[in-house]
Amino acid sequence: MNLAISTVEIAILIVLPLVVFFNRSGMPAPKRVAWIILFYLIWYLTYSLFHEFCHYAAAKVMGLEVQDFKFLPAFWKGEFAGGFIRTVYENSFQEFVVVLTPYVRDVLLVGCGLALIRWKLVRRTVSMALVILLLVLSSFYDVLDNFFAYWRGNWNDYWGMSHYVSRIYVHVIGATLTFLCFLGGLVALREVFKHVAGTHTDRPAMRD
């Protein structure tokens, strides 16, 4: 994926919602900045881990041989992106399932995040931000970033899907997953921003 495009996506889909959320929380400015930086680092250091582990787990559940894998970039060597899993597939359906798994997980995580927020199971500022970040924003970013890269002609997971179904179906799958994550994420963010706005109006600051 083009570095400039990925940077813009991260800024809009990950950083901007965090900034808006914490700005509405009523926290003092230095504390807001510290939490935003910390949460961004948490996301950055775990994004590839969770994504690649889904591929790995799906391959193991299907009884496939995993020849090699890397869950995290070697940050200590100056690598800041990239993870992979190298699997021996017996047929294209197995490949389809393994490469699709993280994106199905993304939709389910957005649904879980939305449920936690709408049912008011998380109320504290930091807990709510963590749910939004790891369950909602990260999932939408994962689906959109990879689908957009495929749409631009990059070789990625979606190419693996095209070994089993035609490219038109891959586009339908990608568009559907993106729409579901976008819709769930939009509703979740609306609920969160409405909550922090109401809480900030009622009290000087939310609990943290």
Higher-confidence residue of 30 and 74: namely 30
Q: What is the pTM of this model?
A: 0.90
- Give per-residue pLDDT as tens, 81-133: 778 999 999 999 999 999 999 999 999 999 999 999 999 899 888 999 999 99
Taking residues 192-204, report their average pLDDT: 65
Contact 193, 21 (CB under 8 A): yes
Say which DSSP state 152 is in.
T
Q: Where are the beta strands (DSSP E) in the chain?
A: 65-70, 84-88
Integer-rounded Cα Rg, in Å, for the chain is 18
pLDDT of residue 98: 96
Q: What is the mean pLDDT of residues 30-53?
A: 95
Q: Which pLDDT score, from 0 to 100, does residue 74 have? A: 72
Average pLDDT on 137-161 reads 93
Q: Look at residues 52, 167, 188 and name the one whose alpha carbon lies nearest to residue 110.
A: 188
pLDDT average, residue stretch 147-166: 92
pLDDT-above-90 percentage for the chain: 75
Say how far apart CA 112 and CA 42 lie, in whole Å: 19
> Which of 18-22, 82-86, 159-163 is least confident?
82-86
Cα distance from N-terminal residue to C-terminal residue, the chain: 37
At 142, phi and psi to the nearest 5? -60, -50
Chain length of the chain? 208
User: Is the pLDDT at 6 greater than 90, yes or no?
Assistant: no
